[in-house]
Chain A
Amino acid sequence: MFDWQFFGLLISNGVLIGLMYSLIALGFVLVYKATDAINFAQGEFVMIAGFMVAVALGAYGAPLWLAVALALALMIAFGFGLERAMLRPLIGRPIVAVIMATIGLAAILRGFGPLMWGAETKPLALPIPDEPIVWGPLFIPPIQLLGAAVSLLFLAIFGWFFLRSRQGIAMRAVADSQQVAMAMGVNVERYFALAWAMTGIVSALGGVVWGNLLGVDVHLALVGFKVFPVVILGGLDSIPGAIIGGLIIGIVENVAAGYVDPWVGGGTKDFAPYVLMILALMIRPYGIFGKQIIERV
């Protein structure tokens, strides 16, 4: 007999985890949208932010609001600094240069985190219970609910920012054509820096919720790997795409793990999203909501 409760649990778990993926994917989309750069260090940004919050809470006994505010400030500064020191010199270079730079940055950050704050896993405690909230047949872990709520809130804020605010429109103009934007008097470099700073904000929030979920150490960076199937599926430059992509990946990996794992012995959760990603690349390479760029060659 089909166990509907278990199926429902897998779906609800997939939805909530998927929205938490969306939050990380949002950081990726913000940078791509504004600068056309693909940030391979997105997971490491989350890890570094997680370290900041966990150390501020654990080693210095800071209150949560201060630890989060500190991480936000530091990550914004990090985003600005990174753009100024590493990425600005690469403006106008082939896109592969930026990609390689972020891959290098990822490796540096993975070494820097444990070197700076120690290798052991640090807990990141939040004032929420671990026990699940029971809603009829569903068990909802409070941290996942919080993660999903934070994710939706910031997706909405950034969605509004790009659609309605002056800066957001300028950023879209920069993304559309750097040369034209410059000709129209838009300060391209400033908007690049702003995009990286916004990624810093998202990474800080991601660090808090994912850090609580998994604990903080170098493994926290692994959440970055989930970003690629999410953004390829949803569209590299689409905020709604980050939501939809996250939801699809979250649900697919949970359902695969729940129903396929018992038959094959495990591990489907890890590759199911990538199977989906490859299919998406074959069928709709610009993603569900991505901008369709047709180039005649």
Chain B
Amino acid sequence: MKRWLAIPIGLLMMSAVTLGSPGWAAASHEIVLGLQCDRTGATQTVGVHLCPGYHDYVRLVNAKGGVDGHKIRAVEIDHEYKVPQGVEAYERHKKEGAVVISLYGTPHTYALTQKLTEDHIPGTSPGFGRADATDGTRYPYVFPLAASYWSQAGAAVDFARKQMGGLKGKKIAFLFFDNPAGREPIPVLEDLAAREGFQLRTFAVPPPGVEMGAQVLDIAQRYRADFVIAHLFGRSPSVSIKELKRVGYPLRKVVSFVWGSAEADIEAAGGFGVAEGYHTMQYAGVGTDFPVLTEIREMYRKEGKEPSKEMASTVYYNRGVMWAAVAVEAVRNALKAKPDGKVTGADVKAGFEKIKGFTLGGLLPPLEITPNDHEGGGWVQIWQVKGGKFARVTDWYKAYQDVVAKHIKEAGAKK
């Protein structure tokens, strides 16, 4: 705090105490949240829609008087999805006094895990990052908060099982973006193939993922997959939709992981009419029908503005709201122990580990974050492109968590 501000604030506090005014709580203290963004770079379609959701939620909290009277300041830094810039963004956030940082990108999460732990700043990585960071005892300052790629693999196989009425003897194709994040679910899928008796073949799509004609031909015409699990990023999900359609593969037999599941992917593929039948996995609610979004629209109207156009891209915008909401909730929990607002990263970490039953009117799954489980349960929903929009197919569910737990344990033993 600036010294010249400290004197009047101190005087105010003293007078509050001496007057014994019942309305005076401790002085307001600004709480800083760090947000890494990607409004430019390889996956900018995510950042341009997700980050506005984050900011709008923070503005909403501040419009309501902040968290227990303390204002929140979200500091956004664009890293263009490049790791060196991500590390630099982290340092700047640290300097700004951020008590939690929303990371963005799997390679960035790997690069910053050690720093987060050393500096005692919790970093969140919803839907990306390292799957073994679910284990809070090994990664105390990394919070995936949403289904990891291992949990998504379990959920996808379970969904395929329900769609096909069983897995025994079936052929599943795993079409994935060929980088570490894309390859991460393969060990879990291989385990499940052995356990459930289905055949698994993996099909790599090299970056940037705009060409997969041969892989898709193979899936549809040589391997003749009964079901496709797609795990693609950036431009490749939309290309996969078009390519699968071009070889006559029914999109209702496809389920995509969480980064090939947004309106932007469907639009880029040619629109909802083209992608009819395509299944998407989600870790936050989809659509505009949530109380918190109504409040945000109301906030815009009170300001005399139209609600931001990014709200229409509900998959990413809602994830942005979720990222901010969970971070704010962790701060709220931290403030219970330190009402003066001078919370530290360690306090917010403890705050994360107390989150339970916070669903934001259904926008979030029934997260339960504990010191052991930083993933919050590995919940997902499946939505399908149907009749020109997304239609919900399942409620929040998780599957094969025992297999996921086994992999987390094995990863821990390797360390």
- Tell me if A266 and B217 are in contact (CB < 8 A): no
B231 within 8 A of A: no
Q: How large is the interface on A (under 10, 10 to 19, 20 to 34, 35 or more residues)?
A: 35 or more
- Tell me if A131 and B45 are in contact (CB < 8 A): no
Interface flags, B220-246, vs A, CB<8A=1, else 0: 011000000000000100110010011
Measured CB to CB, the closest approach of chain B to A56, in angstroms, equals: 16
Which residues from A are CB-within-8-Å of B208?
219, 222
B61 within 8 A of A: no
CA of A120 to CA of B204, assembled, Å: 24
Which residues from A are CB-within-8-Å of B247?
132, 139, 141
Which residues from B are CB-within-8-Å of A258?
214, 217-218, 222
CA of A119 to CA of B178, assembled, Å: 23
Measured CB to CB, the closest approach of chain A to B53, in angstroms, equals: 16
A295 within 8 A of B: no
Task: State how many residues of chain B have any CB contact under 8 Å with chain A.
Answer: 35
Query: For residue B270, which residue of chain A has the nearest CB?
Result: A123
- Tell me if B268 and A121 are in contact (CB < 8 A): yes
Q: A130-B246, A132-B246 are in contact. Are A261 and B214 (CB under 8 A)?
A: yes
Measured CB to CB, the closest approach of chain B to A54, in angstroms, equals: 11
- Tell me if A214 and B204 are in contact (CB < 8 A): no
Q: A120-B45, A257-B215 are in contact. Are A139 and B204 (CB under 8 A)?
A: no
- Tell me if A269 and B210 are in contact (CB < 8 A): no
Which residues from B are CB-within-8-Å of A119?
40, 44-45, 48
- Tell me if B242 and A130 are in contact (CB < 8 A): yes
A217 within 8 A of B: yes
Pick the residue among B206, B268, B271 that contacts A267 (CB under 8 A). Answer: B206
Query: For residue B264, which residue of chain A has the nearest CB?
Result: A120
CB-based A-B contact count at 8 angstroms: 109
Pick the residue among B48, B203, B213 that contacts A17 (CB under 8 A). Answer: B213
Which residues from B are CB-within-8-Å of A121?
45, 235, 238, 264, 267-268
Which residues from B are CB-within-8-Å of A17?
213
Measured CB to CB, the closest approach of chain A to B30, in angstroms, equals: 32
Most buried by B among A3, A10, A130: A130
Measured CB to CB, the closest approach of chain B to A21, in angstroms, equals: 12
Measured CB to CB, the closest approach of chain A to B267, in angstroms, equals: 6
- Tell me if B221 and A5 are in contact (CB < 8 A): yes
Interface flags, B191-219, vs A, CB<8A=1, else 0: 00000000001011110101101110110
Could you tell me which residues of chain A, from 1 to 38, have a CB within 8 Å of some CB in chain B?
Answer: 3, 5-6, 9-10, 13, 17
Could you tell me which residues of chain B, from 263 to 277, have a CB within 8 Å of some CB in chain A?
Answer: 264, 267-271, 274
Could you tell me which residues of chain B, from 244 to 269, have a CB within 8 Å of some CB in chain A?
Answer: 245-248, 264, 267-269
Could you tell me which residues of chain A, from 228 to 278, have a CB within 8 Å of some CB in chain B?
Answer: 253-254, 257-258, 261-262, 265-267, 269-270
Which residues of B are at the interface with A, using a C-beta cutoff of 8 A? 40, 44-45, 48, 178, 201, 203-206, 208, 210-211, 213-215, 217-218, 221-222, 235, 238-239, 242, 245-248, 264, 267-271, 274
Q: Return 15 A-B CB contacts under 8 Å, by A number.
A: A9-B217, A10-B217, A119-B48, A121-B264, A143-B246, A213-B242, A214-B235, A214-B239, A215-B235, A215-B269, A215-B270, A219-B235, A258-B217, A267-B178, A270-B211
- What are the 3 A-B residue pairs with the smallest beta carbon separation, nearest first? A266-B204, A257-B214, A121-B268
